[in-house]
Amino acid sequence: MFKKISLFVLICMSSNANAQNLEEFTVKNIHFHMGVIAAFAEVVNMDVKQIGLSEMFSADEASKWEPVVKHIAERNDVLYYRESDFLVTDLFAPSRTAGKTLFIIYKGDTLEKYNALKARKAGLITSNKYNKDARREIATGFGKLLDYSDNVINGLIASNGIKN
C-alpha cells in the first residue's frame, strides 16, 4: 500500500510541473488540483497523514471549487477547512500563501492541533518571544502535523534560508 501511495505522489509531482506554480486555475489543470485533494483525502482517511493541504486559490477560485472539495471530503469520510489565514512558518515561503486560500483536509482533532499551533505562534509574537528557537519550534510542530520527517523539515527550513 505504501508503495502505491508513494508512486501516486511521485507521478502527481512529476506529471504536471505547471500545476505546482501559482498560475491561474483553468479547466485544463483544475482536474489535477482536485485529484491532489482527493489523494490527500484518501491518505488522511487511511491515517497515513494527519493533514493534507491543497494548492493555493484566490478567494473567488476557492468559492468556485469548494463544492467539489466538500464532495471529495464527504466521499472519503474526512473533513475540510477553508483556510484564508494560513499558518506561516519557516517551512514555506510566506509569499506562497499571502492573500491566498487553501483547503486543509483532516479528521478528528487535527484542526484543533493546527489552530493551537497558530495560537501558540501568535502568543509568542505578542510576547516578543518569537525568536529563532520559537520559529524552529513552530515550524517543526507544523512539519510534524504534516507528518514530515525530521530530514524533510530541516531541508524545508534550510531552503527558506534559515540556518540551525
In a domain, 164, yes or no: no
**pLDDT confidence of residue 163:** 65
Q: 15 in a domain, yes or no?
A: yes
Domain contains 112: yes
Residue 49 lies in a domain: yes
User: From CA 92, how far away is CA 152, in angstroms rounded?
Assistant: 12
4 has a pLDDT exceeding 50: no
- Domain of residue 76 covers 2-159
- Domain assignment present for residue 127? The answer is yes
Helices 132-145 and 150-159: angle between axes, nearest 10 degrees: 130
Would residue 136 be called left, alpha or beta, if left means φ above 0 and alpha means ψ between -120 and 50 degrees? alpha
d(CA 139, CA 90): 6
Residue 74 within any structural domain of the chain = yes
**Cell digits of residue 122:** 501568535
Rounded to two decimals, the pTM is 0.79
pLDDT for 18 beyond 60: no
Question: Would you say residue 25 has pLDDT above 80?
Answer: no
Integer Cα distance of 69 and 73 in angstroms: 6
Mean pLDDT, residues 101-109 taken together: 96
Number of domains composing the chain: 1
